[in-house]
Amino acid sequence: MAKSLLVTGAAGFIGANFVHYWAAAHPDDTIVAYDALTYAGNRANLDPLSGNARFSFVHADICDYDRVLNTLREHDTDTIVHFAAESHVDRSITGPDAFIETNVVGTHCLLKAAREVWLAGDGMDHRFHHVSTDEVYGSLAPDDPGFFEEQKYEPNSPYSASKAASDHLVRAYHHTYGLQVTTSNCSNNYGPYHFPEKLIPLCITNILRGLPLPVYGDGSNIRDWLYVEDHCRGIEKVLEGGRLGETYNIGGNNEWNNLAIVELLCDQLDARFSDEPGLSARYPDAPQAGGTSARDLITFVEDRAGHDWRYAIDAGKISGELDYSPHETFETGIARTLDWFLDNEDWWRPLLNRT
Ligand code: NAD
């Protein structure tokens, strides 16, 4: 039976990729994209769906209880996929309030509205899927196994603490009220529509403009990277086969330290410029256009306060229970990402001065 989805944060990086993925894979479903369009939200991310009669956009805040309630009722929503969040760790260090407001209060507002609409009277079949992060588990030592679902929560930044709080609220609404919830905790994503304040798009767009590539500390911090479409595929698996009340960790089994990623991006773009001479004319400020390597732009900067050293995911539960595995390798995923950024300068340039 066709579903009616409300996707929060759909104008952001992962939300937009999810909406594109879902619309293509489930053309009979209805999708309402719900987004406050903060600095990280971009209406243009949803432009490819503008002619789709089953797609609509609501410009609103998840903290606006009446608006959420009315939207759920108006669209007969039976599934919420909740991406909306303040998501940048650095911003959570300089300004944590917005993280508490959106990630904690906003998630609670959605849960309250979902309970009101879905559990009233005899209730109806529904799903509240909450998208969370591996950062709630804290930091790993070099030889520790990857994060698993029963791992103790040890969030270290205001961002991860606010996401941890939202995970607990989602869990509590299941246990206390019987709301039909699932949660996924994913590792670092990369791919199209990635806002250029995050490491990979920041490095790509800085290389193309000949600007320094800032690397925190000595660059040894490790993350587990997943191509964004593989994250969307994982959420689809959980929505279709996940057990209610359960959490699934989604990861790429793909650990890289920050310096190695920056060097990889430099080397890949150096190779692109030598293979495609037209790139030097399109990006004259890139070091390759002047005959030097992007690696010359690498600049070590003071480490982030409380910087977690290593994240890695044990994806055994989702792969064993739901037959999930990523489709992209890091090589193919990075190649697709570079193609996208090289071809979509009109998308990323206007975002560079947003605060
Ligand atoms: P993003 O910052 O790119 O997008 C967030 C979106 O939420 C934006 O469109 C923004 O306008 C919207 N938003 C923010 N506050 C809102 C509010 N109060 N009401 C309505 N909309 C609001 O974030 P992202 O990287 O796409 O992350 C999406 C989700 O996935 C987040 O919950 C994040 O914690 C989680 N996650 C992200 C990653 C990652 O690597 N990016 C990894 C694991 C989990």
Buried b or exposed e, range 260-294, using 16+ CB within 10 angstroms: ebbbbbbebbbebbeeeeebeeebeebbbbeeeeb
Q: Quick one: which H or E segment has residue 57? A: strand 55-59
> How far is residue 77's CA from residue 31's CA, in Å, rounded to a whole number?
9
- Write out pLDDT tens, residues 308-320: 899 999 999 999 9
The tokens describing 58, both together, are 């609501």
Are 33 and 46 in contact by the 8 Å Cβ rule? The answer is yes
Q: Is 100 in the pocket of ligand 1 (CB under 6 A)?
A: no
Pairing of strands 222-227, 255-257: antiparallel
In this prediction, residue 355 carries a pLDDT of 73
To 5 degrees, how large is the angle CA 332–CA 338–CA 340? 105
In this prediction, residue 295 carries a pLDDT of 98
In this prediction, residue 1 carries a pLDDT of 87
Q: Whose CA is nearest to atom 15 of ligand 1?
A: 85
Q: What residues of the chain score a pLDDT lower than 70?
A: none
**190 is an active site residue:** no
Are 118 and 179 in contact by the 8 Å Cβ rule? The answer is yes
Rg, the chain, Cα only: 20
Q: Whose CA is nearest to atom 37 of ligand 1?
A: 133
Q: Is 13 in the pocket of ligand 1 (CB under 6 A)?
A: yes
pTM: 0.96
The tokens describing 75, both together, are 């669209």
Are 239 and 326 in contact by the 8 Å Cβ rule? The answer is no
Q: Which of 38, 225, 238 best tests ligand 1's pocket when mutated (most atoms within 8 Å of CB)?
A: 38
One-letter amino acid of 61: D
**135 is an active site residue:** yes
In this prediction, residue 252 carries a pLDDT of 87
Q: Which residue has the tokens 């490790």?
A: 222
In this prediction, residue 354 carries a pLDDT of 83
